[in-house]
Chains A and B, each alone.
Chain A
Amino acid sequence: MKKIEAIIKPFKLEEVKEALADLGIEGMTVSEVKGFGRQKGHTEIYRGSEYTVDFLPKIKIEVVLSDSALDSALAAIVKSAKTGKIGDGKVFVSAVEEAIRIRTDETGEKAI
């Protein structure tokens, strides 16, 4: 099992969700997060005062899936979240040791 953490632009969430749903991926966890990478922040000006806002709002999607589904899911995320401009985000993949469905006590890939 693998976990995908994708940090994307907020307005791309719907497209990414639909692309994953088309692959048969049935669940995900979404958080509103803030951060910066090479895009940096932006400047706000209130009369004479200028403030740099370092952290920009992003969406983090977490999906846990079977090893076999990983490649197509990664391709779908990258394709649907891409604008080609700075700040499109990043995708991280890590190994997951165990999964449990609380309602049924199922474990492993059956639980995801």
Chain B
Amino acid sequence: MIKSKTILAGLAAALIAAGSLIPTVALAQEAPTTPAIAAPSTTVVAEEKAPPTLEQRIAGLEAYINNVDPVGSKVEAVAGPGHNGWMMTAAALVLFMTLPGLALFYGGLVRSKNVLSILAMCLGLAGMVTILWWAVGYSLVFGTNFGSPFLGGSEFFFLKGVGAAPNTTYAYWISQSVFCVYQLTFAIITPALIFGATAERMKFSAVMAFSFLWMFVVYFPLAHMVWGGTGLMNGVWNADAKIPAVDFAGGTVVHMSSGWSALLLCILLGRRLGFGKVPMPPHSMVLCMVGTGMLWVGWYGFNAGSALAADGIAANAFLTTTLAAAVGAFVWAMLEAVLKGHPSILGFCSGAVAGLVVITPAAGFVDSTGAVIIGVLAGVVPFFAVTYMKAKLGYDDALDTFGVHAVGGTMGALVTGFLATSSVNSNLVSDAYAAKNGLKAAIEGGTLWVPQLQAIALTLALALGGTFIITMVIKYTIGLRASAEDESAGLDISDHGEEGYILK
């Protein structure tokens, strides 16, 4: 009894101490602008030299459990093992979505003569985007020293200073090195999604050149606007965000940007030779299904990992991700059974991916009811987009990047505006950020869909404008397409000098 009472008293004292720290920190931050220099600066020095009290140290440990700032304790600038462990796992899961999840999902859907061109694209992007990320990409997205709402900063070029200590602008308890790798895995899969639309005809050199330019023109600015500390559309974490929109795991940054770019690129590129005349069925629905399973599993890292901690918000995203994927898969296949006669494997797979796409911007902001609504919408709307709209309009989006990722991502960004609730994520109404930039008012007034629409419009404009310019540059320099002869023989031989299957 005595022991537990002592602990309770200690916890109470720690809470009080944590509370009393806030004005101290505020004072320290304001110090340089205060005209009376002498008094505050000496206070700061004295504050730094004094070892933390027991209360402050306990407050630091509580901050670990609660995923808040441990400032003033002995664990300041130290990564928390649980949060860090989960984020390393999540980063590996998201990489697994590309290698080999997306590679097999897309690879199974092309003809066997082009399977390696898909695998090479995924591997090539993993390599090239990592180099870009190391050199400038991470800094341009997550730096802040440009003070710009559109692009990050230069302070982390070549990952200078990106080490074990957390970058507290983004997460208090995960190493910045882990945060950097985690965000890298998003930057890898996003351009890879685009080339589902252009599959079986765009040459490898053009894929790489397009991606190189696209990362600078579209991805880095957009990712900063949505997730960067000074980002224009970062409603949850930037008090100065002009558009207080929310995007939990990348509905705009990943799926809308890649999906809309894919549509324009595949139109500018032209259809595959023989499109509509020659059968172009998937060469392996088995590989496609295996890839889908990997995407689904990897998506837990994508969505639950986007909490950037092993906390309650991550747990909620874990649940909503499961619900949306399962409901999407089932609804899509049942629609097929009714309208086409058979529930197909590709239908189940497409519905699962669509569910995952649509829940992505919403995963940490909606409850289980919202997730089921999203799953149903994901099974219905992209189904009609790829089954009827594509055939009517006649563009050759070979693997339905537009129909699933752009249609699903856009719908997800919009419905997040209607279904987001502060009951599962109090960051939506935080005093520090959301109350200042208008997000809190939007949530409480039910008008979040307005900034969501603004974010959608801006993402669309950037993706389409950027893609048009880049495509023209490549078309009139190195060219976009493989020659007709190479295309009919298959890109595996012409671009990579290998065959996917040598069975005899």
Which residues of A approach B to under 8 Å, CB–CB? Answer: 44-49, 51
CB distance from A46 to the nearest CB of B (A): 5
Chain A: CB-nearest residue to B282 = A46
Q: Please, how many angstroms separate the alpha-carbon atoms of A45 and B390 in the complex?
A: 14
- Looking at the complex, which one of B281, B282, B342, B388 makes contact with A48 (CB distance below 8 Å)? B388
Q: Mark contacts of B334-352 with chain A using CB atoms, 8 A cut-off: 1 yes-contact digit, 0 otherwise.
A: 0010001010101100100
Residues of A contacting B344 in the complex (Cβ-Cβ under 8 angstroms): 45-46
B279 touches A48 (CB 8 A): no
CA distance A29 to B346 in the complex (A): 38
Minimum CB–CB distance for A56 against chain B, Å: 15
B484 adjacent to chain A (CB < 8 Å): no
Chain B residues near A (Cβ < 8 Å): 109, 279-282, 336, 340, 342, 344, 346-347, 350, 386-388, 390-391, 400, 403
Q: How far, in angstroms, from A60 to B321 measured CA to CA in the complex?
A: 51
Q: B279 — nearest CB in chain A belongs to which residue?
A: A51
Whether B279 lies near A47 (C-beta < 8 A) is: no
From A44, A46, A48, A51, contact of B391 by CB (8 A): A48
* Contact in complex: A47, B281 (CB < 8 Å): no
A45 closest partner in B (C-beta): B340
Query: Do A48 and B386 touch across chains, with their CB atoms under 8 A apart?
Result: yes
Chain B residues whose C-beta falls within 8 Å of the C-beta of A48 in the assembled complex? 386-388, 390-391
Q: Which 9 A-B pairs have the closest CB atoms?
A: A51-B279, A48-B387, A47-B386, A48-B391, A48-B390, A48-B386, A51-B281, A46-B346, A45-B340
In the bound complex, do residue B280 and residue A49 qualify as a contact, i.e. CB atoms below 8 Å apart?
yes
Contacts A46-B282, A51-B279 aside, 17 further interface pairs with beta carbons under 8 A come to A44-B281, A45-B342, A46-B281, A46-B344, A46-B346, A47-B346, A47-B347, A47-B350, A47-B386, A47-B400, A48-B386, A48-B387, A48-B388, A48-B390, A49-B280, A51-B280, A51-B281
Q: How far is the CA of A49 from the CA of B279 in the complex (A)?
A: 9
What is the bound-complex CA distance between A51 and B346, given in angstroms?
Answer: 15
Measured between alpha carbons, how far is A44 from B345 in the docked complex, in Å? 12
- Whether A49 contacts B388 by the Cβ 8 Å rule is no
The interface residues of chain A lying within 8 Å CB-to-CB of B346 are: 46-47
Alpha-carbon distance A44/B390, docked complex (angstroms)? 18
Give A86 to B220 CA distance when docked, in angstroms.
Answer: 61
A47 CA to B385 CA in the complex, in Å? 10
Q: Report the Cα distance A48→B400, complex, angstroms.
A: 10
B282: min CB distance to chain A, Å: 6
Q: Which of A44, A47, A49, A51 has the most CB of B within 10 A?
A: A47
A46 to B349, CA, bound (A): 11
- Centre residue among B109, B279, B336 by max chain A CB count within 10 A: B279
Complex CA distance for A51 and B388, rounded to whole angstroms: 15
User: What is the distance, in angstroms, from B352's C-beta to the closest C-beta of chain A?
Assistant: 14
What separation, in Å, do the CA atoms of A99 and B340 have in the docked complex? 53
Distance of B400 from chain A, by nearest CB (Å): 6
